[in-house]
Chains A and B, each alone.
Chain A
Amino acid sequence: RKEVEQDPGPFNVPEGATVAFNCTYSNSASQSFFWYRQDCRKEPKLLMSVYSSGNEDGRFTAQLNRASQYISLLIRDSKLSDSATYLCVVNMREYGNKLVFGAGTILRVKS
């Protein structure tokens, strides 16, 4: 089983739609979680950290479910500029705090 798994997509949605991505992780001791965004041929950029109580940043909401070992990202009112690959990232504390990336979920927002 991969340490971090994501649905690769692509998710094709119209502008204004709400879309949700899920990500599962294998190690229950993992402590820190993040969502990154990566545009084609660019470096990944931190979108948001994921906190235990859930957190929101504008149109983006992240949730953590420790019992089921998954995190989610919800994007409301999708914009064309949201088209990108979204990477789920988990900090593996018991393995020297290495950050493990999921393979990414492709989002395409169309007008």
Chain B
Amino acid sequence: NAGVTQTPKFQVLKTGQSMTLQCAQDMNHEYMSWYRQDPGMGLRLIHYSVGAGITDQGEVPNGYNVSRSTTEDFPLRLLSAAPSQTSVYFCASRKGPNYGYTFGSGTRLTVV
């Protein structure tokens, strides 16, 4: 079992560029989420999904899009990168509301 796989692990973008952070899980989990973590801020929810075809906004959704066409994949798109989006991004999945999340190893993104 690979668990939750995130790619890439590191990325440097120029302001205004767009990119997609990939996330895939092989545990057949219905729930998936994207968080960002900044120093001293803790984990903040960007977008989440409770099943294929269903997504919703979290605490800090601006500048990001998601889609959930399959149970396995939950990509996060940065539309036009800004330095404020420099952060560590974690994707996570879980079986349902009474279960904890399993996290991917994170993507460290720097926007210059």
Contact = CB atoms under 8 A, between A and B. Distances in A.
Contacts of A31: 97-98
A46 B4 CA distance: 14
A102 B42 contact: yes
A98 B50 CA distance: 9
Interface stretch (A9-17, A53-61, A68-76, A88-96): A88-96
A46 B43 contact: no
A91 B48 contact: no
A32 B42 contact: no
B104 A43 contact: yes
A76 to B, nearest CB: 22
Interface in A14-67: 31-32, 34, 36, 42-46, 49
Nearest to B101: A99
Contacts of B43: 44, 87, 101
B50 A96 contact: yes
B45 A98 contact: yes
Interface in B57-112: 58, 90, 94, 97-106
Given A43-B105, A96-B48, A96-B56, A101 B42 contact: yes
B106 to A, nearest CB: 5
B56 A91 contact: no
A100 B97 CA distance: 12
B42 A43 contact: no
Contacts of B101: 44, 46, 99
Contact of A100 (B40, B45, B94, B106): B45
